[in-house]
Amino acid sequence: MIYSGDKDENLEKSIKKVGEKWGGPFEISYEKNWKKVIKNWKGRILHLTMYGLPIQDVMKEIKGDKKDLLVLIGSQHVPGEVYHLTDWNVSVTNQPHSEVASLAVFLDRFFEGKGLGKKFENKKIKIIPQERGKKTISLFSRK
């Protein structure tokens, strides 16, 4: 994950802790100049926005393109220039929604639901699914 805007070291620490605790290969870095990230990207660029084409109308085309994919998620006041620098402007709905929700819907569609059963390596905690309540087990190796 690359983020831009205001640098937030607490966000970076939090994301790193989640990865360490729950597993999986996940990295976060900051780039002050978002245009630099786009300019240096060698693959295709997708922008999730409520103003884009409906995801159900363009997903087949996106999945058919075998180039690396950079997914942009803006917050409020995305510069108009972004809409012209991307290969696709895609909406999960044309109503206001959270950026995290749009990413979740996009990833679920892109990976055809297979992400829901994904097992992450090197986790320190495992959730035991329950009908009610919460149950976890610690996977810390104690030496």
The structural domains of the chain, with segments of one domain joined by +, span 42-112
Q: What is the pTM of this model?
A: 0.84
pLDDT digits (tens, 9 = 90+) for 76-125: 788 999 999 999 999 998 888 889 999 999 999 999 999 888 888 888 99
Indicate whether 143 pLDDT > 60: no
Q: How would you classify the pairing of strands 88-91 and 44-54?
A: parallel
d(CA 85, CA 46): 9
DSSP bridge partners of 73: 48
The class of domain 42-112 in CATH terms is: alpha beta
